[in-house]
């Protein structure tokens, strides 16, 4: 169980949290398993979207870090209950299916948001954020026109799909990117900046020198401690600016 793993990590969020745990929910007859943690009813919400390996202990650790800051967090499941791919080919398959079906991606994110509200989060105070694949999904929600308080991408995919744009984006976009990212180039970073400016979307885009793709992921070779700390602090400041506790 993911929750048991968090206990083993020695996290001390239980005293802060009015609600926490794995959450089963249904979307169009399919089962999904997210994770919800909240300091109190009607708390401002961070909707957290996972990387290409599905909802893992990494996202749960980040959720527990955020609840200590006073935010409810719903870590969404975009793959389905029990689907946590470990091989790259499987990760590409599951993310690829959603990249090819953007309407389904949006439906899954909106359903996760609805579930978080059902659990007691404040529907008027929501920021969507994600890591890698989740960062791309956060930008998908920005383009969808969903009326939220902000959209954040940590080392996420930045390319805009054909036929989409940011004309209907309702809130500020924050992009936290590694300047040494070998998967997502600085050319893509610059192109996104141009698109956001074209559509007069409030934005802040930060590139961290020396940071590669997935620079916030603890314990991997590409982890970049300085970029992780700086990006996390900027993210917390962004939440403080956009959400009312």
Q: What are φ and ψ of residue 198, in 5° steps? A: -55, -40
Q: What are φ and ψ of residue 48, in 5° steps? A: -105, 130
Burial of 188 (0-12, 13-18, 19+ CB in 10 A): middle
Domains of the chain: 2-242 (3.40.50.1820)
Give Cα 41 to chain centroid, integer Å. Answer: 21
CA distance 118 to 112: 10
| Confidence at residue 20, expressed as pLDDT on a 0 to 100 scale | 76
Which token pair is 38?
A: 């909240």
Give Cα 161 to chain centroid, integer Å. Answer: 19
With beta carbons less than 8 A apart as the criterion, state whether 56 and 5 touch. no
Give Cα 17 to chain centroid, integer Å. Answer: 21
CA distance 108 to 128: 13
CA distance 138 to 158: 10
Per-residue pLDDT of the chain (245 residues; tens, 9 = 90+): 444 334 333 333 333 444 679 999 999 999 999 999 999 999 999 999 999 999 999 999 999 999 999 999 999 999 999 999 999 999 999 999 999 999 999 999 999 999 999 999 999 999 999 999 999 999 999 999 999 999 999 999 999 999 999 999 999 999 999 999 999 999 999 999 999 999 999 999 999 999 999 999 999 999 999 999 999 999 999 999 999 98
Q: 3-state DSSP helix/strand/coil percent for the chain, to nearest 5?
A: 40, 20, 40
């Amino acid at each position: 169980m993911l929750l048991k793993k968090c206990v083993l990590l020695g996290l001390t969020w239980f005293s802060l949290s009015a609600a926490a745990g794995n959450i089963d929910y249904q979307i169009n007859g399919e089962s999904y398993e997210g994770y919800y943690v909240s300091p109190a009813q009607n708390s401002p919400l961070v909707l957290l979207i996972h990387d290409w390996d599905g909802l893992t202990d990494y996202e749960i650790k980040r959720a527990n870090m955020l609840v200590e800051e006073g935010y409810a967090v719903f870590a969404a499941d975009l793959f389905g209950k029990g689907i946590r791919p470990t091989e790259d080919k499987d990760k590409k398959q599951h993310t690829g299916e959603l990249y090819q079906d953007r309407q389904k991606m949006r439906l899954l994110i909106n359903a996760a948001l609805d579930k978080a509200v059902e659990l007691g989060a404040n529907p008027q105070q929501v920021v969507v954020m994600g890591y890698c694949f989740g960062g791309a999904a956060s930008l998908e929600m920005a383009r969808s026109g969903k009326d939220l308080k902000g959209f954040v991408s940590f080392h996420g995919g930045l390319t805009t799909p054909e036929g989409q744009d940011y004309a209907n984006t309702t809130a500020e976009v924050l992009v936290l990117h590694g300047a040494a990212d070998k998967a997502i180039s600085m050319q893509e970073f610059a192109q996104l900046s141009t698109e956001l400016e074209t559509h007069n979307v409030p934005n802040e885009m930060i590139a961290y020198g020396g940071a590669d793709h997935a620079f916030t992921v603890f314990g991997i070779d590409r982890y970049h401690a300085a970029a992780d700390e700086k990006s996390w602090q900027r993210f917390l400041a962004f939440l403080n600016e956009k959400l009312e506790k």
